[in-house]
Copies of this chain bind each other. A is one copy, B any other.
């Protein structure tokens, strides 16, 4: 091993709960958040639910000295709510919008309008390149009967794809955000297993904060305790994840969360707790070669686990596909009924018109009201049909990618060489390959 060089990075992640006029004490809390960030001078600040650009701009003004570099990610109707503040210069940003994100007609849940996405910023910390990601996944409104689960699993799938494919050139990767998933939830396992990201809470040498690292706790005055049920004390759904590269080792020296209140203030920063992680990077001037055999030993086990997780995710996406197909079918049937009703009405109205002189059997008012109803049904079901078709395409797309991934992982697992000669002997097509985990395509 060559000589090492150590760099320290302090990261904060906070869901700000910044719905103007709806979130409690919103302006006061933003003022508190601004003061805290100004004083604490974290290297990287990852904020979620900064729904109003005005709030972002006032934070930017306040943090002009402590965090001269920042970016606000715009998306959807309202925005993505994602913002990043940094001490280090941001060289490049990129936004990936999730293909699925709830339903526009579930306006009271509001997720669709937020245009959920993952924002990426490329920073240089010393001589190292850091890829920093901030995201906010679809909320879980009812754990027992979570109709958004397939959407969240696809979001986790796309998140891991995005991080994996965009971080090849980075010396360190940091992801912060409100994942709306418990530590052992499918999407979380998918994300961590595929990307190799480590959970700061689990890896931290020192921890000071809520029990079990919870970030949505019953002690927070903004929390409705009934909504947490059956997790009376709280849940952990906000995370700071990290990983190094072949050039760098990364460690979490300490981690802390707020504990439902802020000293000398009447209320906390948000309904979520703020997370702070102290990361330490050790750079090797030479690429490591030690430890590789040990890594290879556990690689097979990790691959097998990953195959299981992706298969589980695929099942969940199939459930979503089934639901979306059902919904589209219902929309189509309702639309056809609306059309039939319209045709029937016109037929009844046409009878006296054809047999001149006969009195109109329809009261005029009812006629127009019924016609208006038919048109409303037709328009609504048409829009729903379009929407469900898009949902289906996105789910099918994710399912296809997962099938391909499982096939590729299984091939790796079988120990077959991945590299092929330029003119390979022809193989049977994918569908013909024996595959224990994907019997039906």
**What residues of chain A have their CB less than 8 Å away from a CB belonging to chain B?**
7-8, 60, 64-66, 68-77, 79, 87-97, 99, 115, 120, 124-127, 161-162, 165-166, 168-170, 364-365, 368-369, 372, 375, 379, 386, 389-390, 393-394, 396-397, 400-401, 404-405, 408, 411, 418-422, 424, 426-430
Contact = CB atoms under 8 A, between A and B. Distances in A.
B429 A68 contact: yes
B390 A77 contact: yes
Contacts of A70: 430
The main secondary structure of chain A at its interface with chain B is mixed
A235 B371 CA distance: 50
Nearest to A99: B97
Given A64-B429, A372-B372, A393 B90 contact: no
Contact of A404 (B68, B93, B369): B93
Contacts of A404: 71, 90-93
Most buried by B among A165, A418, A424: A165
Contacts of A396: 74
Contact of A69 (B126, B170, B430): B430
Contacts of A418: 89, 91, 124
A66 to B, nearest CB: 8
23 contacts: A64-B428, A69-B430, A70-B430, A74-B393, A76-B390, A77-B390, A77-B393, A79-B393, A89-B408, A89-B418, A91-B404, A91-B408, A92-B404, A93-B404, A94-B161, A95-B401, A97-B97, A120-B165, A125-B420, A126-B420, A364-B364, A368-B368, A368-B372
A426 B368 contact: no
Given A68-B430, A365-B364, A430-B68, A424 B166 contact: no
B126 A92 contact: no
A142 to B, nearest CB: 26
Given A68-B427, A89-B420, A368-B369, A74 B400 contact: yes
A428 B161 contact: no
A433 B60 CA distance: 15
Q: Name the 8 nearest CB pairs between A and B, nearest first.
A: A168-B169, A74-B397, A368-B368, A168-B168, A64-B429, A165-B166, A68-B429, A74-B393
Contacts of A88: 420, 424
Given A71-B404, A96-B96, 4 more contacts: A74-B393, A79-B393, A126-B419, A372-B372
A115 B389 CA distance: 12
Nearest to A119: B397
A68 B425 CA distance: 11
A427 to B, nearest CB: 5
Nearest to A125: B422
B420 A124 contact: yes
A393 B94 contact: no
A392 to B, nearest CB: 9
A362 to B, nearest CB: 12
Given A364-B365, A424-B87, A127 B419 contact: yes
A331 to B, nearest CB: 14
Contacts of A77: 386, 389-390, 393
A211 to B, nearest CB: 33
Nearest to A365: B364
Nearest to A372: B372
Contacts of A94: 161-162, 165, 401
A42 to B, nearest CB: 13
Contacts of A87: 424
Contacts of A95: 99, 397, 401
Contacts of A421: 126
